[in-house]
Amino acid sequence: MPNPAILTVDDDPAVSRAVSRDLRRRYGDRYRVVRADSGDNALEALREIKLRGEQVAVLLADYRMPHMNGIQFLESAMDLFPLARRVLLTAYADTDAAIDAINLVDVDHYLLKPWNPPEEKLYPVVDSMLDAWRASPEPPASEVRVVGHRWSAPSFAVRDFLARNLVPYRWLLADEPEGGRLLAAAGLTADDVPLVLTSDGKTLAAPNEADLAVHVGLTTTPSLEFYDLVVVGAGPAGLGAAVYGASEGLRTVLVEQRATGGQAGQSSRIENYLGFPDGVSGAQLTDRARRQALRFGAELLTTREAIGLESGGTSRLLRFGDGTSIAAHAVVLATGVSYRMLDAPGLDELTGRGVFYGSASTEAPSCFEQDVYIVGGANSAGQAAVHFARYASRVHMLIRGADLRHSMSSYLIQQIEAIGNITVWPHSEVAEAHGDEHLERLTVRDPRSGETRDVDTSWLFIFIGAEPRTGWLDDAVLRDRLGFVLTGPDLLCEGKRPPGWTLPRDPYHLESSMPGVFAAGDVRAASVKRVASAVGEGAMAVSLIHRYLEAQ
């Protein structure tokens, strides 16, 4: 592995040369000094470093740069290297902006230019940044490579799976020279993609998610046969329950069907979660929560879909599709909700090939300078519009109603109004999607008049609400008419406990009709569909589980 990098970005060639010369002189034997002349180029360099699985220790960015200023650069860089220490280089006149930056992107230090003599002004700052980084460095990651077709649903599924599980990978097109060389070396053809090459040199042709998970280092099998607590679903509620359960000494296992983070993991920026005044991306929040759960000793199993729940005396049994099962004293159901599908001709065939459900943030850079369409008027659609507006030439939001006021938070409406390249189209719905290899055109209809118009686009992102993921529970626990899990007081009918309930007490607040089985987050009937409430319910379920276990 090469030495960790110190990256410096400045659009002024003389300053750029001087800073990298000074850095090399003092740190060149232990660190690689990487120099870039724009935010875009610096991000590009960071992505490459990330894909190669190498480390970045410190980022030094000039504040005043055209197109992307230093703060914007550091904000994007954080997504790639959250643990790298961040220094903003400013002129005296920009001190206020620098102070704002400390709040916005958690800048560790701002350094006034010029920094001469470096021994006095530059090195002490960089020394302390390096000390801090060495105390919690990002471990070097080995590289996974994916070879696939640009417009292929299975290739997208593999990339999305890796991205949502925070597995760094390199994406290579099958029809480009390097992709072709790798396919040939593996003895495969372009028909066999997606091809995944793992860091230890294994080749997986069109792997399913379970195989992929195993080979990229995700855990899929439990280490114990019996736990105190099994949590089903690793969205905010499940991660919350796992952090609190494990930190309070419960042997805890978290079981996730696809990827940690749940819906929140797909959010480009969560702005209303306590403690993040300037927002946090779903990926960052997920990464922190996952590391926290693991640090407390929770086990996290990926690609394990629960398909049944049974009660046997005081233990609860969770069954999986492959015939295996896990038993525990208590269960938290945190399976959240899944996207509702939009029903219009052509959409099913083009899903994953230009039509996406949810934000599919892996695709955002591919939308560069193109027209993007978003269906939906709720917060998730609004966040996606704001996110895609950074890349697309124009983002079009199709909403059935007259405006966004009844469906979206006012802070997001204000953001959308302030962004010049977002257009909201009221009274509009998708009537049909057209395209052969990928989406090429949409027919948009006014539901009042039935009038239609065609628009050219390769990108459609759909956010039209969700339904609970509870079909697998059958009659194991009581659910409301929409399928959400009933808990606590909602289970009492005219003061009577639910049928089959034998305990001499009412169900606890988040407890379902099966004693010892609790529900938290979006899957629970009448829950508030928010990250904070999901996390809070996950934590609260654990305290109720303690009460349940004490009474056993």
3-state secondary structure of 273: coil
Closest distance to ligand FAD from the beta carbon of 443 (Å): 25
CA distance linking residue 453 with residue 438, whole number of Å: 20
Of the pair 198, 335, the CB lying nearest ligand FAD is at 335
Question: Are 531 and 264 a contacting pair, CB within 8 Å?
Answer: yes
Of the pair 22, 522, the CB lying nearest ligand FAD is at 522
Of the pair 32, 316, the CB lying nearest ligand FAD is at 316
Of the pair 11, 480, the CB lying nearest ligand FAD is at 480
Of the pair 9, 241, the CB lying nearest ligand FAD is at 241
Of the pair 306, 545, the CB lying nearest ligand FAD is at 306
Closest distance to ligand FAD from the beta carbon of 304 (Å): 6
Q: Which residues contact 150 (CB under 8 A, 6 or more apart)?
A: 173, 366, 438
CA distance linking residue 264 with residue 255, whole number of Å: 17
Question: Are 435 and 407 a contacting pair, CB within 8 Å?
Answer: no
State the residues that interact with ligand FAD by CB under 6 A: 232-238, 255-258, 262-264, 266-267, 270-272, 305-306, 334-337, 358-359, 379-380, 383, 469, 472, 521-523, 529-532, 534
Lookup: tokens for 44: 């590009």
Degrees, nearest 5: CA angle 451-454-460:
115
Of the pair 17, 291, the CB lying nearest ligand FAD is at 291
CA distance linking residue 142 with residue 165, whole number of Å: 15
Closest distance to ligand FAD from the beta carbon of 159 (Å): 17
Closest distance to ligand FAD from the beta carbon of 309 (Å): 10
Closest distance to ligand FAD from the beta carbon of 126 (Å): 36
Question: Are 79 and 281 a contacting pair, CB within 8 Å?
Answer: yes
Closest distance to ligand FAD from the beta carbon of 147 (Å): 26
CA–CA distance from 229 to each of 33, 225, 249, 488, 507 (Å)? 47, 12, 10, 19, 18
What kind and span of H or E run contains 318? strand 315-320
CA distance linking residue 291 with residue 82, whole number of Å: 13
Of the pair 64, 530, the CB lying nearest ligand FAD is at 530
Closest distance to ligand FAD from the beta carbon of 243 (Å): 12
Burial class (CB in 10 A: 0-12, 13-18, 19+), 144: buried
Of the pair 258, 445, the CB lying nearest ligand FAD is at 258
Angle between the N-to-C axes of helices 282-295 and 236-247, in degrees from 0 to 180, rounded to the nearest 10: 20
Closest distance to ligand FAD from the beta carbon of 307 (Å): 7
Closest distance to ligand FAD from the beta carbon of 35 (Å): 37
Closest distance to ligand FAD from the beta carbon of 334 (Å): 5
Q: Which residues contact 95 (CB under 8 A, 6 or more apart)?
A: 110, 112
Strands 252-255 and 429-434: unpaired
Closest distance to ligand FAD from the beta carbon of 161 (Å): 11
Q: What DSSP designation does 474 have?
A: T
Question: Are 229 and 245 a contacting pair, CB within 8 Å?
Answer: yes
Of the pair 53, 483, the CB lying nearest ligand FAD is at 483
Handedness of CA 372, 377, 380, 386 (dihedral sign): positive
Of the pair 104, 532, the CB lying nearest ligand FAD is at 532
